Structure 1
Amino acid sequence: MDKQYRCSLSRLLFSYWKGEEKKRAWGMAITIAALTVAAVYMTLLLNDWFNSFYSALQNYDQQAIYHGLIQFTGYAFAYIAFAVYADYLQQRLALRWRCWMTEKYLAQWTAGDMYYRMEAFSGGRGDNPDQRISEDIDSFTSQSLSLMQGLLQAVTTIVCFIVVLWNLSEILTFTLWGYIFHLEGYLVWTALLYSVAGTWVTHQVGKKLIALNYEQQKREANFRFGMMRLRDTAESVAFYHGGGREKETLFSRFLQAVSNQYMIIRKNKQLSWLTSSYGQIAIIFPFVVAAPRYLTRKISLGGLMQIANCFGKVQDSLSYLVNAYTGIAAWKACADRLCSFTDHMEGIQEAARVASKRLKIVRGGQGVSLSHVKVSLPDGRVLIPDLSLALQPGEKVIIHGPSGVGKSTLLRVLAGLWPFAEGKLQLPEEKTMLFIPQKPYLPFGTLRHALSYPRQDAEDKVLLPLMKQCRMEKHVNQLDKEGDWMQVFSLGEQQKAAFVRILLQRPAWLFLDEASSAMDEETEAALYGLLAHLPSAVISVGHRSTLDKFHERILNI
């Protein structure tokens, strides 16, 4: 794939901040940053409070103790307020970011029939676009802001507390290999060394989690898709009594997800050992470092507690990657999936653009003309080597040929769905053409909406006569009832619904792909008889010879 069509992590992260919502997004982000810094400042004041309060405890200074408790209440309340509103605004910003990304991805997925191309051209399911758009965008936006806020808090804490910790550190003098060394700010260097070592070890142990999390989402999606497919094909499977075989297939996919989950659990166990040990040692480590100065009475109890708290803040901030490693691994896997999904769509878009250059399409003519058209599969295999044909307005033509020869694919070429073709096409305006597939699409909603799709809902006075003409009169009382009509209706009833649409829209050019294959011959003849009274040009793909009498020409492929 060309580099300009490769999604990068920076593009995924920053496209929103450069888009049409950038002013509001940056405004909210700056406010969140200010609240985060304010919360860190409160912890800095609390660090000074540790010294005075514990010194008051050591000296049994009752008035200073009560004053310290009141002071702590004010600092704590301010910290809580800053932290709560920072979190609140972060969630709102994450939701706005998710809405923006979802709209962009939905636009890209639905534009240019991409949803169809991903399924048809790749022979797969387009890497579960429903999961990418629904779950991964949500996870990516919320985790990105959470990690950014955590990083900002860590950096701000380091900047604020490292100066304090440096000032609390006395010069450390030690002898090594016969030389005397004087180390200033030894507490800072100790915290830095401890954190860098912990971060490096954590990365070595946990880096495999990114690939494992990526694979886990893929296997979970395959398992979920298998169950969705069983729901969609429930009747067909039931006729074969294939429940047992489906259970074996689904459980096999589930076990694949489980085996990967076991590896994630084992890796998380190793990481938990490390991070828990690291965190527990970090609690006592500053006391070990500062205890000699306390025992020699160079600092008070308050000074010891201040050093311990300050050391803990610096060490905890320097150890941000250690503490957040599991979340970072999940976030990176999520970002990789979104980049992969974007690459897939843009790769198909580019492949279709390159392929379509070989097919010249001219619109606006009165008829349909094909000049030396060659139709191929995505892998290059030729279905139709050379076809020239002219169709006139109002003409009725039926296309015959063996299964798999490319009849339906030819209709896809005429509909603009199939770019793997060469030659020249002269076509009428797109709005004058209507294509009816073998299995019509009936959207979820009222029956009125399904019959009128994709136009506005038709009124009773228009729909009822057409339903009777198409032998759907038993459903006239269900026009305003909502349902999943592709599941409620048999394929024959769905095809009748498609004929209602034809009579409702009355296109100038009508293309039917086995549009009556599930009907009995009497119903088929009645509905095709209705088409004979339309001024539309009718181009049908069919196997039944009973359809020939409704057409003026027969085209054999």
Structure 2
Amino acid sequence: MTNVISKMRVLSDAYGVPFHYVTRGACVAVFGVYLCHVGSPLIKQGLNGVKRQALMFQEKTASIEGESSVDGHVNLLAAARREANQRNLQGSKESYTDFGPPRDNFIIAPMEEYMIKSLYFFQYLTGINVDFIIQMIKLIRIMIPAVWSSESLILFAHTLSLVSRTFLSIYVANLEGKVVKYIVRRDVYNFSLMLTQWLLVALPATFINSLIRFLEGQMALAFRTRLVRYAYDLYFKNETYYAVSNLDGRLENPDHSLTDDITTFSIHCAHLYSSVTKPCLDLTVIAFTLVSMAKGLGGSYQSYGPLMASVIGFATHGILRWCSPPFGTLVAEEARRKGFLRSLHSRIVTNSEEIAFYGGHEIELNLLQQSYRQLAQQVNRILNTKLWYIMLEQFLMKYCWSATGMVIIAIPVMTGTIPLADANPDDPDTDDVSERTQYMTTAKNILIAGADALERLLSSYKEAHELAGYSNRVAKMFTVFEQVNKGVYKRPGAALAAKSRASVPSLQFKDGMPQILGKVVEVSNYLRLKDVPVITPNYDVVVPSLTLEVRQDMHLLITGPNGCGKSSLFRIMAGVWPIFNGQIERPSSREMYYVPQRPYMSLGTLRDQVIYPDSVEVMRKKGLKDDDLAQILDKVHLNHVVTREGGWSAIGDWKDILSGGEKQRMGMARVLYHKPQFALLDECTSAVSIDVESQIYQAVKDMGTSLITITHRPSLWRFHTHLLVFEGDGGWKMDELKPGQISL
């Protein structure tokens, strides 16, 4: 090493070049060679990637030119979507971007449509996934439905507070510099004046800080409210709440998506807006402020500081992006496991009695522990990933940026001359030191604010990854809800076996799924099925074709072995299962009332249990009073419950308060209250004594309601006129009940 230095000194003396220039040049040369050695493989890899992208672009362009229409025009969006559909058919991950309400605005709607088309075409040419951007566009459309909405007002106020805080930070930094300057000068008067100003500015500064957090919370709440309203409208439209869990298998835990996922997405979305908007504004204002301060000092290389900060910032962003783990995927998987753990707890609460009877607590405990271990493993995986990423992030942001900040502060001071217009001729050195101290303090505070802004901006990349995970879950929920609303059901794992299971020749398939081609016609006074197959949500064909008619003067009894399709037929009649073929003619839903074996007990009063799903206001409009409800309960032998529970307005958990037989009689009381044309009774009195059961059935018949009953009790045959027998192998027969059969 000594030899090298001595040779450099000889070279310096021989050519008359200052020695420090020679040493600097040597260092730069060594550093350049090292960079070439390290960077050449990366540059080569990047050039190869660009070459591959260019070849792919040529192939895409050639394929598009080959698909030109007769008039020479090319449908770019159709080509892009066709390729996306082909990728989905080949088993790739489904993209959830087809959702959202229609736009009525004649200006924004075309702009949004053009933007989405451009993104699809960009994805088609480059292969870069743009699902997150499209999902965010459509989710923002739900969260901010109009320019003049309350959400827009909150967003504008929040933006205004962020801008105010930026300029206030610069002003406070200047004040602190002046305070330090007068401390160095020992100027008590000006020090007191500046300190008073600083304290007065602290009041609006603290208010704006609090206001930013308040408006961010308000914005998150407003976003959540819009999303929840839109989700609830979809969830309770066309009985989606039933279909999404029983007919479609894409959403594992809709309750978790409706609550936690929407809440977390709204909070992250509002916070990310603050984390991106304010740092960008801070960095812009700080760069101009530093250049202005450098000019004021008369220093050279005034633009070097902001330029150096920009280079370091972009380099840090590139390194962190290259090293960034897939936080979006990790967080989405964590949310999925949280939802599954919650669903296990809900199952235990819902089925606690059955679990206690069977003594199945050990099995349930093992399931809970296994689910929690899987969640803990995922959380631990995220923490381990964050450990090394945050270490790298802190090294770059804390130490590299601190060194850059020192250089930025030093350049104007070391290369410039501070103007001494206000210098004290008796003590110029003191004034010069105070000015430099003011500059150093102000620049230090501004650079700290800039470093904080840049750190938040780079950290927002990680938050954007997490937001992508939550946005995908919310977008998936909305996409599934809207598709289920339109009668499009998908059950993962069932599509491949659908064709082999379906033995109905008239069924039509698309993408491996049977198409819902059946028709529902609303009529009055009768129920008719024409060539309707009974197919389960798993595409098991229970009955290939069923044709029957039930008039209002008929009472149909349905029997057959277990699993032959009795309850499935009720679900088709009630309209909760799709009709894949044929036609069903049925009255409106108000004229068909279904009573299951375990009636649902809602939250509310005892009165609400009888009139469910009507409200008290609807009951009053029907002209009914509590005395009428008392007569209904008397017919089903439940009038003692009113006295026992403390009156009609008593509130309780009726699922636990009423016994099994009382709940079944409450279900029949609802039939007497609603007076439908047809009552679908599915083993609904199995826990009721035979004598009380007979009185209830007779009361329903006397009311003029046609009975369609599934039962294994021979005592109920006498209340029916026709018999439908399922044979268990897909066959069936329907006959009129004969007197000999009724007497059984």
Is the structural similarity TM-score above 0.5?
yes
Q: Which residue of 1 aligns with 2:494?
A: none
Q: Find the residue that maps to 2:543 and give its secondary structure.
A: strand
Aligned counterparts of 2:191 and 2:403: Cα–Cα separation in 1: 25
* Aligned equivalent of 1:510, options 673, 679, 689: 679
For normalisation by structure 1, the TM-score amounts to 0.90
Post-superposition Cα deviations, 1:117-155, rounded to whole Å, max 9, x if no partner, equal 01111358x332222222222222232122212322112
Deviation at 1:236, TM superposition (A): 0.6
Written as runs of structure 1 = structure 2, the 5 A alignment for 1:403-552 is: 403-457=562-616, 459-477=625-643, 478=645, 479-552=648-721
Post-superposition Cα deviations, 1:453-506, rounded to whole Å, max 9, x if no partner, equal 112346331122222321223312223221121233333221110111111121
Q: Is the 8 A contact 2:409 2:443 kept in 1?
A: yes
For 1:360, give the aligned amino acid: K
Aligned counterparts of 1:425 and 1:43: Cα–Cα separation in 2: 71
Q: Which residue of 2 aligns with 1:179?
A: none
Deviation at 1:443, TM superposition (A): 0.4
Q: Find the residue that maps to 1:122 and give its secondary structure.
A: coil
Q: Which residue of 1 aligns with 2:116?
A: none
Deviation at 1:427, TM superposition (A): 1.6
Written as runs of structure 1 = structure 2, the 5 A alignment for 1:14-93 is: 14-19=141-146, 22-93=148-219
**Distance of aligned partners of 1:131 and 1:239 in 2 relative to their CA distance in 1, 3 Å threshold:** same
Q: Is the 8 A contact 2:525 2:677 kept in 1?
A: no
Q: More deviation in 88-97 or 347-356? A: 347-356
Aligned counterparts of 2:280 and 2:353: Cα–Cα separation in 1: 59
Aligned counterparts of 2:202 and 2:187: Cα–Cα separation in 1: 22
Quick check: 1:219 aligned with 2:346?
no
Sequence identity of aligned pairs in percent?
Answer: 21
**Distance of aligned partners of 1:341 and 1:469 in 2 relative to their CA distance in 1, 3 Å threshold:** same
**Distance of aligned partners of 1:292 and 1:188 in 2 relative to their CA distance in 1, 3 Å threshold:** closer
Q: Find the residue that maps to 1:445 and give its secondary structure.
A: coil
Q: Find the residue that maps to 2:262 and give its secondary structure.
A: helix
Aligned counterparts of 1:460 and 1:305: Cα–Cα separation in 2: 79
For 1:342, give the aligned amino acid: F
**Distance of aligned partners of 1:293 and 1:503 in 2 relative to their CA distance in 1, 3 Å threshold:** closer
Post-superposition Cα deviations, 1:184-221, rounded to whole Å, max 9, x if no partner, equal 51111221222223323333444322211111111111
Q: Which residue of 1 aligns with 2:371?
A: 253
Q: Is the 8 A contact 2:234 2:485 kept in 1?
A: no
Aligned counterparts of 1:57 and 1:274: Cα–Cα separation in 2: 39
Deviation at 1:309, TM superposition (A): 2.4
Quick check: 1:128 aligned with 2:268?
no
Aligned counterparts of 2:526 and 2:215: Cα–Cα separation in 1: 59
Written as runs of structure 1 = structure 2, the 5 A alignment for 1:150-169 is: 150-169=275-294
Q: Which residue of 2 aligns with 1:11?
A: 138
Structure 2 residues without counterparts, runs of 5 or longer: 1-93, 101-134, 419-435, 490-509, 617-623, 727-744
Q: Is the 8 A contact 1:395 1:536 kept in 2?
A: no
Aligned counterparts of 1:132 and 1:454: Cα–Cα separation in 2: 26
Aligned counterparts of 1:398 and 1:306: Cα–Cα separation in 2: 89
Written as runs of structure 1 = structure 2, the 5 A alignment for 1:381-420 is: 381-420=540-579
For 1:462, give the aligned amino acid: D
Q: Which residue of 1 aligns with 2:406?
A: 287
Q: Find the residue that maps to 2:198 and give its secondary structure.
A: helix
Deviation at 1:392, TM superposition (A): 1.2
Aligned counterparts of 2:416 and 2:301: Cα–Cα separation in 1: 21
Deviation at 1:158, TM superposition (A): 1.8
| Higher strand residue share | 1
Deviation at 1:351, TM superposition (A): 4.2
**Distance of aligned partners of 1:2 and 1:47 in 2 relative to their CA distance in 1, 3 Å threshold:** closer
Aligned counterparts of 1:271 and 1:305: Cα–Cα separation in 2: 32
Q: Is the 8 A contact 1:369 1:427 kept in 2?
A: yes
* CA radius of gyration, larger in: 2
Q: CA RMSD in A?
A: 2.6
Q: Find the residue that maps to 1:540 and give its secondary structure.
A: strand
For normalisation by structure 2, the TM-score amounts to 0.69
* Aligned equivalent of 2:469, options 303, 310, 333: 333
Post-superposition Cα deviations, 1:223-282, rounded to whole Å, max 9, x if no partner, equal 121111111111111111111111111111111101111111112222332333344324
* Aligned equivalent of 2:225, options 86, 99, 116: 99
Aligned counterparts of 1:62 and 1:226: Cα–Cα separation in 2: 70
For 2:398, give the aligned amino acid: Q
Q: Is the 8 A contact 1:508 1:536 kept in 2?
A: yes
Q: Find the residue that maps to 1:483 and give its secondary structure.
A: coil
Q: Which residue of 2 aligns with 1:175?
A: none
Q: Find the residue that maps to 1:15 and give its secondary structure.
A: helix
For 1:412, give the aligned amino acid: R
Structure 1 residues without counterparts, runs of 5 or longer: 172-181
Deviation at 1:357, TM superposition (A): 5.3
Aligned counterparts of 2:372 and 2:579: Cα–Cα separation in 1: 37
**Distance of aligned partners of 1:416 and 1:127 in 2 relative to their CA distance in 1, 3 Å threshold:** same
Q: Which residue of 1 aligns with 2:454?
A: 318
For 1:265, give the aligned amino acid: L
Q: Is the 8 A contact 1:472 1:496 kept in 2?
A: yes
The structure with higher relative contact order (CA 8 Å, sep 6+) is 1
Post-superposition Cα deviations, 1:56-93, rounded to whole Å, max 9, x if no partner, equal 22322222221221221233222222232233233223
Q: How many residues align?
A: 545
For 1:10, give the aligned amino acid: I
Quick check: 1:197 aligned with 2:324?
no
Aligned counterparts of 1:265 and 1:120: Cα–Cα separation in 2: 36
